[in-house]
Amino acid sequence: MSKQVRKAVFPAGGLGTRFLPATKVIPKEMLALVDKPIIQYGVEEAIASGIEHIIIITGRGKAAMEDHFDHSFELDATLERRGKHELLAVSRGVSALARISYVRQKEPLGLGHAVLCAKDLVGDEPFAVILPDDVIDADPPCLRQMIGVFDEKGGSVLATQTVEGPAISAYGVLAGSQDPHNPRIYNCTGMVEKPKLEDAPSKQAIIGRYVLTPRVFELLEETTPGAGGEIQLTDGIKALLKEERVYGYTFEGKRFDAGDKFGMLQATVEFALKREDLGAKFRAYLKGLPL
């Protein structure tokens, strides 16, 4: 088994109901954050973290993602003819980003099932999972930080952040304790998907970045539907925990839930303010608003 994390799985088959009506026709992964579809942020993070092969799990109505990462012959030819070289470089850059494979998830049976769809393409090696809704602004990239922890510890690593109050029920939540030597590492002893506040074993919520060992595929094959009647990735990792070590990792950086309207607004403001071409103008605009 290769020990290097070379492949990243992007579950992108979900319906995006939290963002209706925008996602009635457009896949939620294609919603623009400033000027880039949210999935492209995840793909760029994966590449910047050393990933060589991206596996996107798609579903019905998601073809726009494949077109986005492909060559656009007509667009490129038109830009070239018009002498729009900078835009041509942007368009070509997207299609040259990565080696990408697509697998269709034929039925929406849950996140665990979506990840399982990548089993044959991943094979017997550790791999990453990136949930494209979770856009993470971090330097070094969140996944790179996690691969560093995986290389050091040799066990699966889940990104976490502290979530206070009832909002915890929207997440997978870890049980365990903080590592005495490294406060960013959480030694997992259990986990539960979307617990009620009173049942949450801690405030350590799982965020959409994982580095997993391939044993999880076999365990997911045996996982029965859990929270929401779906095959949950959290339940597969909980089974993995009986055989191998699993760590939570409080990443350095800021996470935005761009699959949610409010989260997308927050991300839009913060990413726009950081942009060289837009930041100053946008800041002046915001300052002038009668808030």
Residues contributing to the site for ligand G1P (CB under 6 A): 111, 131, 134, 171-172, 193, 205-208, 232-234
Closest contact distance (angstroms) between CB of 37 and ligand G1P is 18
Residue 102 is which amino acid? Y
Closest contact distance (angstroms) between CB of 127 and ligand G1P is 17
Nearer to ligand G1P, 79 or 235 (CB): 235
Nearer to ligand G1P, 45 or 193 (CB): 193
Nearer to ligand G1P, 132 or 155 (CB): 132
Nearer to ligand G1P, 208 or 248 (CB): 208
Query: Is residue 18 within 8 Å of residue 260, measured between CB atoms?
Result: yes
Nearer to ligand G1P, 156 or 232 (CB): 232
**Token output for 185:** 């590492």
Closest contact distance (angstroms) between CB of 112 and ligand G1P is 8
Name 83's Cβ contacts closer than 8 Å, sequence gap at least 6: none
| CA dist., res. 47 & res. 34, Å (int) | 20
CB-nearest residue to ligand G1P: 172
Closest contact distance (angstroms) between CB of 100 and ligand G1P is 21
Among 32, 30, 11, residue whose Cα is nearest residue 129: 11
- Number of residues that this document lists for the chain: 291
| CA dist., res. 236 & res. 116, Å (int) | 10
3-state SS assignment for residue 221: helix
Closest contact distance (angstroms) between CB of 15 and ligand G1P is 11
